[in-house]
Amino acid sequence: MLIALLPGDGIGPEVVEQAVRVLNVVTDKLTYETAPVGGAAYKAQGHPLPAATLDLAKRADAILFGAVGDPDCDKLERHLRPEQAILGLRKELALFANLRPAKLFPELADASALRPEVATQIDMVIVRELNGDVYFGEKGMRTTAAGLREGYDIMSYDEGEVRRIARVGFETAQARNGKLCSVDKANVLETSQLWRDVVIEMSADFPDVELSHMYVDNCAMQLVRNPGQFDVIVTGNLFGDILSDQASMCAGSIGMLPSASLDDKQKGLYEPIHGSAPDIAGHGKANPLATILSAAMMLRYSLGLPDEADRIEAAVAKALAGGARSPDLGGTMTTAQMGDAVLAVL
């Protein structure tokens, strides 16, 4: 199976290197091709998402992505900026489902923004719709009758869009503990009323999944009050953007959290949720565990290798239990030493 490696900028190459070391220990079924993306691609080839990079991403069975973002490129026109590469990949590959697990390893409870007794129970996945909602609706600027400037963004979902993300939510719940919480604002939004109706209709096809509904404002509050109640959350693009950032902070360091962006087949782009961290790039201080855990998700969701994924996740937990700590976790280990610690367990 072909893996497209798109390391990108800053700490991206440093953390992707460690993930590949780990992948090579658990499976020999993968081949790799590397291509530049982001600021690195702009500097080498004049575009953040060169045609050859996009072509590799399309040909590959899965994509392992580091991060993009380069301060040298901050003054470029928007379409040439490194961050356009990730948006372009999501759009070109129709990656509509964003899965963000937020799990707090018990050893890291003191790194969470929450009280330790609340934080230890965090182990959830937020399934966020990525190609629709208010971000993609008609938008513009106009003048009201009273002569005031008015900005507007139309929020909409059609039932097909809701159905395909809800299916990912139900299936993710089936693969875990069979609990799905659909988050909306159905008390005031028409979009959300449709969302809720469609999710309820679909639940007939998933009798083994226990479905609940929650308003988004309550969900934000419950994530802080009692995050342990959640297993899988499915929600729209806007609500999911906010809730997944919130959940990530509950779970400790940004250097720990992986993500997957999936299409309607099995293709996916896997990346840590963090960016290129220019402040620590080149110093060996980056925590590679988010990327190593992203690689595990890739094995599970795109490559049909769930046992190998389990092995990686267990090895990360064991390395942490054994004291592996990069600076973001309050330790002194380098990026490579964190990789070594996981390899030593494997």
| Catalytic positions | 135, 185, 217, 241, 245
Q: Distance between CA atoms of 294 and 271, rounded to whole angstroms?
A: 6
- Nearer to ligand NAI (CB atom), residue 236 or residue 275: 275
Q: Distance between CA atoms of 121 and 103, rounded to whole angstroms?
A: 8
- 14 touching ligand NAI, by CB under 6 A: no
> Does residue 93 contact residue 86 with C-beta atoms inside 8 Å?
no
Helix axis angle, 335-345 to 306-321, nearest 10°: 110
- Nearer to ligand NAI (CB atom), residue 86 or residue 166: 86
- Nearer to ligand NAI (CB atom), residue 99 or residue 280: 280
- 14 touching Mg ion, by CB under 5 A: no
Q: Which one of residues 241, 271, 308, 328 is an interface residue with Mg ion (CB under 5 A)? A: 241
- Look up residue 214 and give its DSSP letter: E
- 19 touching ligand NAI, by CB under 6 A: no
From the CB of 245, what's the least distance to Mg ion, in Å?
A: 5
- Nearer to Mg ion (CB atom), residue 36 or residue 272: 272
Q: Distance between CA atoms of 84 and 241, rounded to whole angstroms?
A: 18
Binders of ligand NAI among 222-281, rule CB under 6 A? 254-255, 271, 274-280
> Does residue 66 contact residue 89 with C-beta atoms inside 8 Å?
no
Partner from ligand NAI, Mg ion, none contacting 277, C-beta within 5 to 8 A by type: ligand NAI
Binders of ligand NAI among 62-81, rule CB under 6 A? 67-69
From the CB of 101, what's the least distance to Mg ion, in Å?
A: 16
Helices (H) and strands (E) in the chain, counts: 12, 12
Residue of 115, 227, 238 lying closest to 183 (CA atoms): 238
The verdict on whether residue 282 carries a ligand-binding annotation is: yes
Binding residues for NAD(+): 275-287
